Amino acid sequence: MADMTDPMAKNGVGDHLPSRNNVVGEGPMTMANGSPVVDNQDTATAGVRGPVVLQDAWNIEKQAHFNREVIPERRMHAKGWGAFGDFTVTQDITDVSHAKIFSEVGKKCEIFMRFSTVAGERGAADAERDIRGFAARFYTEDGNWDVVGNNTPVFFFRDPKKFIDLNHAVKRDPRTNLRSPNTNFDFWTSLPESLLQTTIIMSDRGIPSSFRFMHGFSSHAYSMVNAAGVRTWVKFHFRSQQGIQNLTDQEAATVVGQDRESNGRDLYEAIEKGQFPQWKLYIQTMTVEQADAMETNPFDLTKMWPKKDFPLREVGILELNRNAENYFADVEQAAFTPQNIVPGIGYSPDRMLQTRLFAYGDAARYRTGINHHQIPVNQPKGVGCPHSFHRDGQMRVDGNRGSELHYEPNSYGNWADSPQLAEPTQAGGDIAMYDYRADDHDYYTQPGMLWRAMTPEQQLVTCENTARAMGDATLQVKHRYIYNCFHADPAYGEGVAKALGIDISTVDLTGTPANSRAEWLARNAVGKELDQPTKPTEPATAADLPPAGRDTNAADPKSLSIWEDDPYLL
């Protein structure tokens, strides 16, 4: 009779091999030309909290190579679904932005939205524990405005040089071509700033039951400029009007076995049946003076802006009401980039955002070609008379601007720019690869706040999910994660240790957090003698659960549409 605890046991291969990969190469890291990489942790900025500079050659080389590692699917967010709809302005925000899209209450524009898993390939299952991509394109009269975010308000790290490492950590091992829990958690635990993001993923919100039942966030700070030229920092929030609803680990296992396209099918069928999903768009705003006065970095992607200090302000409503006529033409070929903004909306010095301004467009040029902006879903549909300067290139199909002269300056007034739309001056500073840990090393305050905002049952589920997800990670990695959780809240560390079957008294909880690069390296080296694979753990507290697992969904999912009452929005 088959062993139903492991149906694959009948194949006779025996126990799984450890997922650890401890193969180390020779010599220091070098660039493609053989020169040493000076700093693989900190991207060069103009000032400690200033914008990223283009002269950081390793940042550019690392991003450009990463964008070309795989063809033709997206390297991240490969499995995705999308639909069209409308955005309607419901509240006046012209005091903070002169963008035409917000010029009057009741104004509408067409939108396109794409949702995705992040770590999996195009063939991956939808119902996996992962963050979800949440991208919205507004076809405004001033051009396409893209908000390219996730269903979480934060991310794993704050420096763009680590993005490629994240991809390599969550994707497949170079030897086995299998996913490795040890690789995944070795990377996450080595970056203490990732704890807030991993806590959200391991919580009951880690597997949305539907794209319709999750919120969206720009995560990054952007800026808005009003008619008087005053800049305000801003974050965008998309609050699901369907509410929040999730799957347990046990439910997800059943769903994956029955339908690997569960979220895509749900979105498509809901729209076809007239159940049009809606999200309310809100903004959080912060003045330049408030940002300058903050002790922690307001442009740190690993932290939220506290809602009690920076309350959300309603802007409008997004509704999806039309499926694509052809998936490939519209959804697969859609090319979003945070570079796509319009006058009245600007960027911030967020290191991750600054590099994404280059990396997303560069990935699109590689994946769908230099003229990807001619594909209908990427065209600026709201603009009355688009006048792009670009010429030639592979697959140019729009007439190539005919006989129009193609240089500027010229004697005929063609290709006039718009200096009147320039943003106000942004402060900078001396250019260096600043150690961001020395500037802001508050890794644990917000994860602790989130832990304490959970119900006891949600806390238990988070610990159980964490233990299962860590699989056969080494004892060193498991101890490191317990350390991080303990410093966020002792009960959090104790709960994770218990779920993992580890006596917390055996874990070294001493030592300072990573307040500088040197301290961070020392902290990660603790417990090297524990670098031995472990057995995957099924928490004892989950032994007698029903088949559906421990359901912590709100009785009324819509109650979590209200931002004031959502405990996961700090």
Q: How far is the C-alpha of 507 from the C-alpha of 509, rounded, in Å?
A: 6
| Catalytic position from the list 67, 77, 220, 441 | 77
- Using the structure block, give the residue that is written with the tokens 């035409």: 100
Q: Are 524 and 480 in contact (CB under 8 A)?
A: yes
Question: How far does CA 54 lie from the centroid of its chain?
Answer: 23
Which residues, including other chains, have CB under 8 Å from residue 466's CB and lie 6 or more apart? 202, 481, 496, 499, 500
Residue 359: phi and psi, rounded to 5, are: -65, -40
Residue 77 annotated among the catalytic residues of the structure: yes
Beta strands at 108-117 and 132-140: parallel, antiparallel or unpaired: antiparallel
Residue type, 378: N
Question: How far does CA 427 lie from the centroid of its chain?
Answer: 27
Residue type, 357: L
- CA dihedral over 117, 122, 125, 129, signed as positive or negative: negative
Rounded (10°) CA dihedral 558, 564, 565, 570: 120
Q: Are 385 and 338 in contact (CB under 8 A)?
A: no
Residue 150 annotated among the catalytic residues of the structure: yes
| Catalytic position from the list 59, 67, 144, 150 | 150
Question: How far does CA 459 lie from the centroid of its chain?
Answer: 23
Q: Are 128 and 120 in contact (CB under 8 A)?
A: yes
Tokens standing for 356?
A: 């994404």
Tokens standing for 456?
A: 């006891």
Tokens standing for 311?
A: 């309350």
Nearest CA to 336 out of 372, 289, 369, 288 is that of 372
Q: Is 407 annotated as a binding residue?
A: no
Tokens standing for 273?
A: 């049946």
- The annotated binding site for heme is made up of 360
Q: What are the catalytic residues?
A: 77, 150
| Residues flagged as binding site | 360
